[in-house]
Amino acid sequence: MSLKDELIKDRLPKHVAIIMDGNGRWAKKRGNARVFGHKHGVTAVRETTETAAELGIEYLTLYAFSTENWNRPKTEVDALMSLLVSTISSETGTLMKNNVRLNTIGCKESLPKGVQKKLNDCIEKTSANSGLTLTLALSYSSRWEIIEAFKKVAQDVKDNQLDVDDIDADMVSNYMTTAGIPDPELMIRTSGEYRISNFLLWQLAYSELYFCDILWPDFRRDDLYRALLDFQGRERRFGKTGDQIKK
């Protein structure tokens, strides 16, 4: 029986989030520059997106460029931005074929104009697709997002658009960049690092965390199936006892 066949189709997560890590180490192991790893990471992005779409997963969120990544050497940042542009150009057809809608979270204004335009064009072109929503976190960090949310809440209270007593968890979720998207039930991080790295801190409150040693450019269908099977073996308690959940 293949790993895919072992999956329980009606117990798949609606939303999977991934920290794609290990591109640099993958390249270094091969005696190449870090950018070589990012380029090969695109294959893993394509295969993961296609697999998630085929399985009927509704949301896939990929951490593609963090706020902190701006501090990398300029050559690497420039190469990553060029890679984004070329990947969006080459992959829009694949997104259309797989009925995938593109979305982004993060400080889009801080991205180069050319990247913004490519993203906006692809978001527009794929906007009527009704399958998987692929969200790229770009120039994103959770603390940035939370600060932005605080500012909007404060402004809305000041403008009498919001009553302080109405602030609850649902309302805070609606001030996040992921408003309207359910929280990820599963968060995967590749490359053997056990950190959240400023990714979806609010949204991951009850997510199952899955860490694997595979470096991102090597991540393939079976690796996603393995993560999903592991998820399906977990008991999600949300603070309750195991006995309460089984009732």
Mind telling me the catalytic residues?
21, 69
Q: Choose which of 17, 36, 41, 227 interacts with ligand FPP (CB under 6 A).
A: 41
Is 129 a binding residue for ligand FPP by CB under 6 A? The answer is no
Q: Which is nearer to ligand FPP, 129 or 149 (CB)?
A: 129
Total of residues contacting ligand FPP (CB under 6 A): 20
Q: How far apart, in Å, are the Cα atoms of 207 and each of 77, 162, 183?
A: 30, 29, 8
CA torsion angle 103 41 198 158 (round to 10): -20
Is 55 a binding residue for ligand FPP by CB under 6 A? The answer is no
Is 106 a binding residue for ligand FPP by CB under 6 A? The answer is no
Q: Which is nearer to ligand FPP, 66 or 149 (CB)?
A: 66
Q: Choose which of 17, 45, 102, 200 interacts with ligand FPP (CB under 6 A).
A: 45
Across the chain, the runs of DSSP E, i.e. the strands, are: 15-19, 59-66, 101-105, 133-140, 186-189, 208-211
Burial class of residue 91 (count of CB atoms within 10 Å of its CB; 0-12, 13-18, 19+)? buried
Near ligand FPP in 7-26, by CB under 6 A: 20-25
Near ligand FPP in 200-219, by CB under 6 A: 216
Distance CA(247)–CA(242), nearest Å, equals 9
Is 82 a binding residue for ligand FPP by CB under 6 A? The answer is no
Is 79 a binding residue for ligand FPP by CB under 6 A? The answer is no
Q: Which is nearer to ligand FPP, 64 or 227 (CB)?
A: 64
Q: Choose which of 33, 42, 146, 212 interacts with ligand FPP (CB under 6 A).
A: 42
Minimal CB distance to ligand FPP: which residue?
A: 24
Residue 113 Ramachandran class (φ > 0 left, ψ -120 to 50 alpha, else beta): alpha
Rounded to a whole number of angstroms, the distance between the first and last alpha carbons of the chain is 31
Distance CA(13)–CA(143), nearest Å, equals 25
CA torsion angle 136 141 144 148 (round to 10): 30
Q: Choose which of 12, 16, 100, 136 interacts with ligand FPP (CB under 6 A).
A: 136
Q: Which residues are at the interface with ligand FPP (CB under 6 A)? A: 20-25, 34, 38, 41-42, 45, 62, 64, 69, 83-84, 87, 136, 191, 216
